[in-house]
Amino acid sequence: MSKILVKPENDVAVDNRNLFTHQNSREDLEALVFQKLHSGEDTTQAIAFLSYLKSTALEKEQHKRLQQEVQEKSVFNSLQRVMITAFAILGMIAFFDRVFNAQELSKAGVTPPIVERQR
């Protein structure tokens, strides 16, 4: 689990190199599109590849956001379960305390107000 959250240093360096190469490729393609526009050539392939690069970058960003939302939801659900369990335990303790104290008071001859109302 910790390997997913923390990247080793060499992976970060590789990602930075890939990002730099990706950015250079994009700039080269944009320059190629402008050159082809000036010379009057067909630019459809270069524009299609630029849109592909843009869509893959957008998909990566959306994947990161989705993964972050899933992690946040998982943490919230875990916290919610812990809180519900804690309140259930406290409720059971309070209930059993009330029941056992009512029995001890009735044995001692004192009737609690709840028992008097039921009579």
In the chain, what are the domain boundaries? 2-118
Q: What is the pTM of this model?
A: 0.43
What is the token pair recorded at 49?
Answer: 């590849």
- Mean pLDDT score of the chain: 76
Contacts 24+ apart (CB under 8 A), 51-54: 53/22, 53/25, 53/26, 53/29
**pLDDT tens digits along 65-87:** 999 999 999 999 999 999 999 99
Q: CB of 72 within 8 A of CB of 62?
A: no
**38-59 pLDDT, tens digit each:** 787 777 777 777 788 788 888 8
Confidence of residue 15 (pLDDT cuts 50, 70, 90): low
Task: State the pLDDT confidence band at 91, using cuts at 50, 70 and 90.
Answer: very high
